[in-house]
Amino acid sequence: MAEVVLEHVTKRFGDVVAVKDVSLTIADGSFTVLLGPSGCGKTTTLRLIAGLEEVTAGRIFIGGRDVTRLEPKDRNVAMVFQNYALYPHLKVYDNIAFGLKAAKRPRSEIDRKVREAARLLGIEDLLNRRPRQLSGGQQQRVAIGRAIVRNPNVFLFDEPLSNLDAKLRIQMRTELLRLHRRLKTTTIYVTHDQEEAMTLGDTVVVMKEGEIMQIGTPWEIYNRPRNIFVAGFIGSPEMNFLHGTYQRGVFTLKCGVELGLGLFEVPEGEAILGVRPDDVYLAGHGPPDRSDPLSAVVDVIEFLGSRAIVSISLGEDRLRMVVSDALVGSLEEGKECRVVFDRRKLHLFDPRTGERLN
């Protein structure tokens, strides 16, 4: 159990800067997710914490100890790799026991801990098999077992579910959460799947090109994105962005339509309005605090079952909105419709810096 602190950590590979001056505190016992597109530096950051890579600058602390110069084996961390990294020539039992054997623990202790971990993960009857005889999900569980059994200070997960099929992924997600509730070990989890990040993490760190874009709870990240990148990366379907100008409480779209927003602390000038498809409604069905109705033309309707994603045109701008299946029948492609925005869920961004304005 330990707190993990990164102080001004930078990692350079030749000319490429993978991690740029990152400072981060990960609370003891938390489930922190490092989220971002590929190449954003999240895996590198994880490997730096593990000790598999050496920092170019900065320091790393685990449980108050400066581990920056320490080898992975002296940091008391455990890692679960994306493609499991099991020892192909050892049985499942020996795979899990490997770390304990390396630490020269007595055989009875090893046996007890391995069986306990196996029971926890539901793989007791696989103990005598070899990795190549197991399915992907089973191999992943063995990898997790190998990590649990050492009682480390920190669990590190490097996109462990990305090699599994969709159904298995959702199943394993629940199991990981259950495991975390039970063991309460500090967990750092890397993924590029924002849905995974939102459901698993109690803290989410959004990264882009080696820098941290925002740290917060899933709620904060979703409802108060600090910049356009975070706003656009989180949430599915993606947030709509409309360009326009803001003046005296009114946001004017390019097509001339005006929205009264009433936010007076925001500086005047050009701005980008962000609104999620879930927060765009058909006129007459919106929330109490809503904008005036706007006229739009229906472009494409994508039917998904209980809801549909409808693409509409507002002058020159294109938007997407989510409409429940009960109401979608009243819409027709090419015909007009009237929509309203939820005024509590609007976001304004500076077009030059991308930073949030409201």
Partner 1 sequence: MVIPLLLMLLAVLVYPMGSSLWVSFENYRLTALHARHFVGLANYAKIPRDARFWNAMGNTLVFVSTAVFLEFVLGFALALLLHRRVRMRNFFRSVLLTPMFITPVAVGLIFRFMLNSEFGIIPYILKTIGIEVDFFATSPLALFSIVFIDVWQWTPFMMLLLLAGLESLPREPFEAARVDGASAWFTFRRVTFPLMRPVIVVAVIIRMLDAFKVFEYLYVITRGGPGNSTESIMYYIYRVGFRFFRMGEAAAMSYVLALIILLLVFLEFQLLRRARST
- For the bound state, the minimum distance from the C-beta of residue 10 to partner 1, rounded and expressed in Å, comes to 21
When binding is defined by CB under 8 A, the residue of 11, 113, 146, 192 that contacts partner 1 is 146
Between 45 and 214, whose beta carbon lies closer to partner 1?
45
Helices 107-121 and 136-148 cross at an angle (nearest 10°) of: 140
Mask for 28-57, x = binds partner 1 (CB under 8 A): ----------------------xxx-----
Between 156 and 228, whose beta carbon lies closer to partner 1?
156
The residue whose two tokens read 């480390």 is: 152
Query: Per CB under 8 A, does 118 bind partner 1?
Result: no
Query: Per CB under 8 A, does 63 bind partner 1?
Result: no
237 preceded by a cis bond (ω within 30 of 0): yes
Query: Per CB under 8 A, does 163 bind partner 1?
Result: no
Question: In this structure, what token pair is assigned to residue 84?
Answer: 């499991």
Query: Per CB under 8 A, does 344 bind partner 1?
Result: no
Query: Per CB under 8 A, does 102 bind partner 1?
Result: yes
When binding is defined by CB under 8 A, the residue of 14, 15, 38, 88 that contacts partner 1 is 88
The residue whose two tokens read 């003891």 is: 28
When binding is defined by CB under 8 A, the residue of 9, 46, 79, 228 that contacts partner 1 is 79
Query: Per CB under 8 A, does 73 bind partner 1?
Result: yes
Pairwise CA distance, residues 161 & 192, whole Å: 11
Query: Per CB under 8 A, does 83 bind partner 1?
Result: yes
Pairwise CA distance, residues 74 & 64, whole Å: 14
Question: What are the DSSP calls for 136-178, one per residue?
Answer: HHHHHHHHHHHHHTT--SEEEEESTTTTS-HHHHHHHHHHHHH
- For the bound state, the minimum distance from the C-beta of residue 155 to partner 1, rounded and expressed in Å, comes to 11
What sign for the dihedral angle of Cα 184, 220, 23, 229? positive
Query: Per CB under 8 A, does 106 bind partner 1?
Result: no
Query: Per CB under 8 A, does 70 bind partner 1?
Result: no
Count the site residues for partner 1 by CB under 8 A: 26
Pairwise CA distance, residues 88 & 128, whole Å: 13
Residues forming a β-bridge with 187: 31, 155
Find the part of the chain contacting partner 1 (CB under 8 A) among 66-74, 120-128, 206-214, 344-352.
66-74
Query: Per CB under 8 A, does 103 bind partner 1?
Result: yes
- For the bound state, the minimum distance from the C-beta of residue 60 to partner 1, rounded and expressed in Å, comes to 15
Residues forming a β-bridge with 290: 342
Pairwise CA distance, residues 168 & 200, whole Å: 15
Query: Per CB under 8 A, does 107 bind partner 1?
Result: no
Closest CA to 260 of 341, 318, 339: 341
Query: Per CB under 8 A, does 164 bind partner 1?
Result: no
Query: Per CB under 8 A, does 78 bind partner 1?
Result: yes
Phi, psi of 130 (to 5 degrees): -100, 155
Question: What are the DSSP calls for 26-52, one per residue?
Answer: E-TT-EEEEE-STTSSHHHHHHHHHTS
Q: Where along the sequence are the contacts to partner 1 (CB under 8 A)? A: 50-52, 71-73, 77-79, 81, 83-90, 98-99, 101-103, 146, 150, 156
